[in-house]
Structure 1
Amino acid sequence: MTAREPKIPGPEHPITIEATGVRVVARVGTHVVADTTRALTLREADYPPVQYIPLDDVDRTLLTDSATRTYCPYKGDASYYGLALTDGTRADAVWFYAEPYDAVAEIAGHVAFYTDQVDVRAGA
């Protein structure tokens, strides 16, 4: 296995992280999964902005462990949670970087949601 060499964000692949500055609520249907005023907005290259929500502001009783792992050369190793809700489980709907690379260290302790499975709204 080859060593993973972190890539540094730059002009060809910019990444910025800043405080969102407004309330962010994540819902599945009417169920509130997360509610925070401490979210971070991560903007990466041409991807849509992603809200990273402090894990402390997530209803952890809904999180289920996942064996899924992925790798991003800019952020590091990602781990996942599923969401266990009354209408079923949404596998791997939540991701996080337990030990993100230095360039994105601010997202440690935060999670993000796949917006095709969870409705995430800033300014909610």
Structure 2
Amino acid sequence: MERAADYPRPPRLERSSRRVRVVLGGETIADTTDAWRVLETFHPPSWYLPPEAFRPGSLRPTSGGSFCEWKGHARYFDLIGGQTSALRSAWSYPDPTPAFAAIAGHVALYAGRVDACFVDEEQVRPQEGPFYGGWITSDVEGPFKGAPGTEGW
């Protein structure tokens, strides 16, 4: 069992060979055993998948971006699966800070904006709140940031 309270700040990048799968519009749009996890205090892990894990046509660049003090500038994507579009549901760091260079071009996504995300066939629960993109599995315990009143932890 991992405790999110024990994750570091600044965050740590960790390679994972666990199977990660994403379903949208009834279709598997991403599947890999070559992902990265970002582990940060009081956050469930955010998972970064290589772009080749995504089915062709399932990532559509969109406008806007954001800034992370640890990783740098992010760009966003719409996700497309079946007849479904999940707008601004994924992001990537094309040119991250040196500490996160390994995830350059890798794609993370909000689990709550797709049909389902799985880690080793366990369906994840999305981190609460509109901003954070962590995935909660049975092997990670909180408390987690994201719910109203937790943003300042």
TM-score, normalization: structure 1?
A: 0.82
Measured on the aligned residues, the alpha-carbon RMSD in Å equals 1.8
- Unaligned 5+ residue runs, structure 1? 1-10
For 1:61 and 1:87, how far apart are their aligned partners in 2?
12
Q: Which residue of 1 aligns with 2:49?
A: 53
2:115 is aligned with 1:123: no
**Aligned residue type for 1:92:** R
Identity percentage of aligned residues: 31
What are the residue-to-residue correspondences of 1:6-45 with 2, within 5 Å?
13-45=9-41
Q: Which residue of 2 aligns with 1:99?
A: 95
How many Å apart are 1:120 and its aligned residue? 2.0
- Unaligned 5+ residue runs, structure 2? 1-6, 122-153
- What does the per-residue CA deviation read over 1:14-66, in whole Å, with 9 as the maximum and x for residues that have no partner? 31111222111111253111000101111122111011100011113122220
Q: Matched residue pairs, number?
A: 114
SS of residue matched to 2:111: coil
TM-score, normalization: structure 2?
A: 0.68
User: Which structure has more strand as a fraction of its residues?
Assistant: 1
Q: Which residue of 2 aligns with 1:76?
A: 72
Moved more, 80-89 or 109-118: 80-89
Moved more, 73-82 or 29-38: 29-38
